[in-house]
Amino acid sequence: MDAAGIRALAESAKSYFAAIDDLASTNEIQERLTEILMQNQETFDTMASLLQIMLGRTSAAKIYSLYQDPTAYNLTSSMGMAVAPPVPIEVATLSCKNSSGIQYFPEAYIPYVTTLASAFSNAAQLKVVGNIYAGNCKSLAQAFYNAYRLLIVENIYAPECTDASYLFAGCSVLERIGRLDIGTPATVAGMFKLCTALKTVPEVDTSAATDLSYMFDGSAQIKRIEGISFKSAANISSIFNQMGANVEYAYLLDLGYTDVMPDLSALTKWGTGKAENLESLRYSLVESSCDRAAAGLPNLTMRPSQTSFALLSSEDVARIIAKGYTIFPK
Amino acid sequence: MIESQFSVRCLEASEGYFITQAADVPDSARMVGKRVILGVNDSPSNWKEITALEAARIQTLQGMAAVTAPLPDIAEPAQPSDPE
C-alpha cells in the first residue's frame, strides 16, 4: 500500500474511532482496531499508522511502558493487547514468550536482534505474524514453539541463522508460512514437528544441516515440500514419521551425499497426480542424488513406496542403480 | 564419450518368504520386502530370505515404534555468543 493509501485508511480509521469515542477502555478499542486490521489485506503496512491514531485516543501508559527501553521489546505479559505495537528498530532483544493476549504481531525490522530463540513460544493467542527482517539473528530455535493458535507467518529473513530446530513445532493450526530465507542452519530438527494443519512446506536450505531428525514428525497434512537438502545429513531419524500419506510433491535434494538415507516409503503418493509431482520424484531420485558409484562410496539402499517406484521408467531405474543405489520398494 | 553397460539384477522373494538384509542389524533398521533391485556395487550375498511370520513380527515392531511423541520439553536454547 502506498503512502496515499495509508493516509486514506488512517483517515477512515480516525473517523471510525471518533464514532466510538464513548469507548473508554483500551481493550475495546483494541478489539475495534483488530476488526479494521482484519478487513484489510495490507494489515501490516498500515498498522503503525493506525496504532498512532489509537494512541492518541487511549491511555498510552501501558504501551509507553513498553518503549521505556527501546532496545528491549518485551510483551511476555502482553498487557491485554490483541495487537502488538510496532517494534522499534533499535530493539536488541525481543520476547513475546508465553504472552496470553497478543494475536497479531506486526512486520518488524530488527537488525540488532541476535536471537529469536523461543521469542514467541507458548504465545497462546498468537494468530498472525508479519514479515520479520532479522539480518543478524543467529538462532530461531523454538521461536514459535507450541504457538498452537498460530495461523499465518509471513516471510522470515534471517540469513545468519544457524539453528532452526523446533522453529514451528506444535503450531497445530498453522496453515501458511511465507518465504523462509534463513541461511543454512546446522540443525532443523523438529522444525515442523506436529504442524498438523500445514499443507505446504516452503523451501528451506538445509544443505549444511546435519540434524534433520523429526523435521516433519506427525505433520500428516503436508502435501508439498518445496525443497530440502540432505547434503550434510547425519541424523534423519523419524524425519518422515507419522506423515507422508498426503505428500505428492517433494524436492528431496542431494540424497546419498552422506551415508544416511531416509525411508521414502512413508511418502506413499509421492509423484502421483500432476506432472510436476512426478518431476519432483524423478529429479530427487535420478538427477539430484549423489553418484556414489563414481565417487567410490559404498552402495546405499533407497526405499520408495511401491506406488512411487511404479512411476519411474526403466531408464530412471537404470540410472539410479548405476549411481550405486539398491532400490527396495516398500 | 564413455559407454558402459551393466545388467539389472533383481532378487524376488520365494512364495511365503520375504527379503531382508543378510547383515546383523537391529529390528528397527531391518528392511523387509518382496523384491529388491541391486545397485551396481551391491551383491546378492548382502540379502537373505526370512519367513512371512518373521517379516510380520519385524513390521509390527516397527509400526509400534513409529508413534509420534508429544512435543518434548526443551531446555532454554543457548544464547548465541556475541562475536565481539
Residue with cell 489485506: A41
Q: Does some domain include residue B36?
A: yes
Q: Does some domain include residue B73?
A: no
Q: Does some domain include residue B17?
A: yes
- Check residue B75 and give its pLDDT: 57
- Check residue A236 and give its pLDDT: 96
Q: Does some domain include residue B21?
A: yes
In B, minimum Cα distance to A314 occurs at B8
B45-56: pLDDT as tens digits: 999 999 999 999
Are A231 and A254 a contacting pair, CB within 8 Å? yes
Write out the residue range of the structural domain in which residue B15 sits. Answer: 9-62
Question: A175 to each of A46, A133, A252, how far by Cα in Å?
Answer: 23, 21, 21
Tell if the CB–CB gap between A145 and B71 is shorter than 8 Å. Answer: yes
Tell if the CB–CB gap between A194 and B38 is shorter than 8 Å. Answer: no
A2-60: pLDDT as tens digits: 556 555 555 555 554 454 444 445 555 555 655 655 555 455 445 545 555 554 444 34
Mean pLDDT for A167-181 is 96
Strand partners for A249: A224
Q: Nearest by CB to A317, which of B37, B41, B78?
A: B37
- Check residue A85 and give its pLDDT: 78
Contacting A residues, span 155-184, partner chain B, CB-CB under 8 Å: 162-163, 166, 169-170
Per DSSP, the residues of A232-250 read T--B-TTTTTT--TT--EE
Q: Calculate what percentage of chain B has a pLDDT beyond 90.
A: 55
Mean pLDDT for A192-213 is 97
Q: Which backbone phi and psi does A242 adopt, to 5 degrees? A: 55, 40
Mean pLDDT for A300-312 is 96
- Band of residue B78 on the pLDDT scale cut at 50, 70, 90: low
- Band of residue A69 on the pLDDT scale cut at 50, 70, 90: confident
Residue with cell 498510552: A60
B61-76: pLDDT as tens digits: 888 777 777 777 665 5
Q: Does some domain include residue B54?
A: yes
Strand partners for A211: A187, A235
Domain count, chain B: 1
Is B5 part of the contact surface with chain A (CB cutoff 8 Å)?
A: no
Distance from CA of B51 to the nearest CA of A (A): 17
Cβ-based contacts of A141 with chain B (< 8 Å): 77
Q: Nearest by CB to B76, which of A118, A163, A328?
A: A118
- Check residue A287 and give its pLDDT: 97
A vs B: CB pairs below 8 A: 95
Tell me the pairing of strands A325-327 and A300-302.
Answer: parallel
Q: What is the rounded CA–CA span in Å between residue A195 and residue A220?
A: 8
Cβ-based contacts of B29 with chain A (< 8 Å): none
Q: Does some domain include residue B82?
A: no
What are all long-range contacts of B74-82, with beta carbons under 8 Å and residues at least 24 apart?
Answer: B74/A142, B74/A145, B74/A166, B76/A117, B76/A118, B77/A115, B77/A117, B77/A118, B77/A139, B77/A141, B77/A142, B77/A163, B78/A117, B79/A114, B79/A115, B79/A117, B79/A139, B80/A114, B80/A115, B80/A138, B80/A139, B80/A162, B82/A114
A61 has a pLDDT exceeding 50: no
Counting every residue written for chain B, the total comes to: 84
Tell me the pairing of strands A128-129 and A104-105.
Answer: parallel
- Check residue A28 and give its pLDDT: 59
Mean pLDDT for A155-172 is 96
Q: Does some domain include residue B55?
A: yes
Nearest to A44 by CA among A85, A96, A90: A85
Contacting B residues, span 21-40, partner chain A, CB-CB under 8 Å: 31-33, 35-40
- Band of residue B77 on the pLDDT scale cut at 50, 70, 90: low
Q: What is the rounded CA–CA span in Å between residue A309 and residue A328?
A: 9
Tell if the CB–CB gap between A241 and B66 is shorter than 8 Å. Answer: yes
Q: What is the rounded CA–CA span in Å between residue A32 and residue A40?
A: 13
Tell if the CB–CB gap between B39 and A138 is shorter than 8 Å. Answer: no
Nearest to A182 by CA among A123, A151, A241, A228: A228
Tell if the CB–CB gap between A193 and B40 is shorter than 8 Å. Answer: no
B6 has a pLDDT exceeding 90: no
Q: What is the rounded CA–CA span in Å between residue A120 and residue A141?
A: 10
Q: Does some domain include residue B74?
A: no
Cβ-based contacts of A325 with chain B (< 8 Å): 39
- Band of residue A199 on the pLDDT scale cut at 50, 70, 90: very high
A250-279: pLDDT as tens digits: 999 999 999 999 999 999 999 999 999 999
Cβ-based contacts of B41 with chain A (< 8 Å): 292-293, 298-299, 324
Cβ-based contacts of A329 with chain B (< 8 Å): 33, 35
Tell if the CB–CB gap between B71 and A194 is shorter than 8 Å. Answer: yes
Tell if the CB–CB gap between A328 and B37 is shorter than 8 Å. Answer: yes
Contacting A residues, span 55-94, partner chain B, CB-CB under 8 Å: none
Distance from CA of B80 to the nearest CA of A (A): 7
H-type alpha helices, A119-266: none
Tell me the pairing of strands B35-38 and B9-12.
Answer: antiparallel
Mean pLDDT of chain A, nearest integer: 85
ipTM of this model?
0.82
Q: What is the rounded CA–CA span in Å between residue A94 and residue A199?
A: 29
Mean pLDDT for B29-33 is 92
